Amino acid sequence: MSSISLRNITKRFGDFTAVSDLNLEIADGEFLALLGPSGCGKTTTMNMVAGIESASSGDLLFDGKPPTAKRIQDRGIGFVFQNYAIFTHMTVRENLAFSLTVKQRPQSEIDKRVNAMAKRMSIDHRLDQLSGKLSVNEMQKVAIARSAIAEPKVFLLDEPLSNLDASFRAYMRAELKILQHEFKQTMVYVTHDQIEAMSLADRIAIMDRGKLMQVGAPLDVYNNPANVFVAQFVGSPAINLLEGKLVTEGGNSSLHLNGGETISLPPTLAKNFAKSSTDRVVLGIRAQEVKAGSQNSANEVLVHGMVEVIERIGPVRVAHVHTPAGVVKCMQGVDATHVGEALTVSLPESSCLAFDAASGNRLNYMGH
């Protein structure tokens, strides 16, 4: 167990900056998800934590100290590869025992620990089979068990669930969470799947193009995104974004949306938008917060459009409302709506997120 600190970490490959000035504190025993689209630098970050790659500049600290071990063998890192890297020429037992045999632990201890771990991961019936013959799901288990048996200080998982089928993925998500509670290890989990990150992690660190966008608890990141990128990347269905020009006339603010429509803004939202560096702003709101029909409240923003598609996600209906400024997805009060119907949607002011269109930064962000 160990805390990890990344201080001003930068990694360059030639002219390409993969990770730029990254600052991140991972607490002892924490489950942190590194979330971002492919190429955002999340795997590079994890490789640097593992010692597979070294940072071009900046400090990496374990428990506040630079890593003492020169060799990556001695760092105490458990690493689960995306394609598992199972030693297919060995049996499952030899795979699980690998970290113990290379450290020349006594055979009795190896047997005991391997059997216990195999039982824990319910792969004990496969122990003496050649691991190359396992199913993908079982390989995943072997990969996790093989790393866990070494009792690493830090557990790193590189997109471990991306190759699995949907039902096993859900099962492994739950299993990983239980395992982490049992092992109480610091876990860093790299993924591009925001649902995985949201459901597993204590905190999520969202990266884009080598930069850290936001770190926070899943709900915090969801409800209070720091910028347009985070707002867009987290949450399903994707957040509604309406871009326009802020116009203030005689104390009343309104938004000239792209596409021509003008919507008037309630005072608090107008005040937030006024902080923008230019008059180009973006209004964001989650589909879950959008209501069909005017609520006749002073604190709402109204947008008019036509229902284009009704999407069904499980028992929930999502109305895609076509407006001149783009599609607004609406999930509240749409049980009776049908395609082709003209619909006014109400955006409650308290749920509206104001962004600066130029920088992408949130204007009403309540940072910590």
Partner 1 sequence: MPNNNHSNHTGAPEAVGYWSQVGSSPERLGFWMTLPTVLLLLFIVVFPAIMQVYLSITMWSPLDGTPWYLAYQNFDFPGQYWRALLDEELWNALGRTLLIMVVTIPIQFALGMGLATLFVDEFPGKKVFYSILLTPMMIVPAVTGLIFYLCFQSTGPINNHLGLPVSFSWLTDTDRAMITIMVADIWQWTPLMFLILLAGMLSVPNDQILAARLLGASEVQIFRRIVLPRMKSVIIIVLALRTVESFKIFDSISVMTKGGPGVQTETISYYIYRLTFGDFEWGYVAAIGLSILIGLTVLAVQLLKLGAKPDSNK
For partner 1, the binding residues (CB under 8 A) are 50, 52, 72-74, 77-79, 81, 83, 85, 87, 89-91, 94, 98-99, 102-103, 130, 146-147, 150
Least gap, CB of 145 to partner 1 (angstroms): 12
Q: Which is nearer to partner 1, 99 or 346 (CB)?
A: 99
Least gap, CB of 352 to partner 1 (angstroms): 46
Question: 8 in the Ramachandran plot: left (φ > 0), alpha (ψ -120 to 50) or beta?
Answer: left
Q: Which is nearer to partner 1, 25 or 94 (CB)?
A: 94
Q: Which is nearer to partner 1, 131 or 191 (CB)?
A: 131
Helix (H), strand (E), coil (C) string for 298-363:
CCEEEEEEEEEEEEEECCEEEEEEEECCEEEEECECCCCCCCCCEEEEEEEHHHCEEEECCCCEEC
Q: Give CA–CA dist 287/241, Å, rounded.
A: 10
DSSP string of 85-134, one letter each residue: ---TTSBHHHHHHHHHHHTT--HHHHHHHHHHHHHHTT-GGGTTSBGGGS
Type of residue at 318: V
Least gap, CB of 248 to partner 1 (angstroms): 58
Q: Which is nearer to partner 1, 102 or 339 (CB)?
A: 102
Type of residue at 218: P
Least gap, CB of 90 to partner 1 (angstroms): 8
Q: Which is nearer to partner 1, 69 or 309 (CB)?
A: 69
Q: Give CA–CA dist 205/33, Å, rounded.
A: 6
Least gap, CB of 10 to partner 1 (angstroms): 23
Q: Which is nearer to partner 1, 126 or 320 (CB)?
A: 126
Least gap, CB of 140 to partner 1 (angstroms): 14
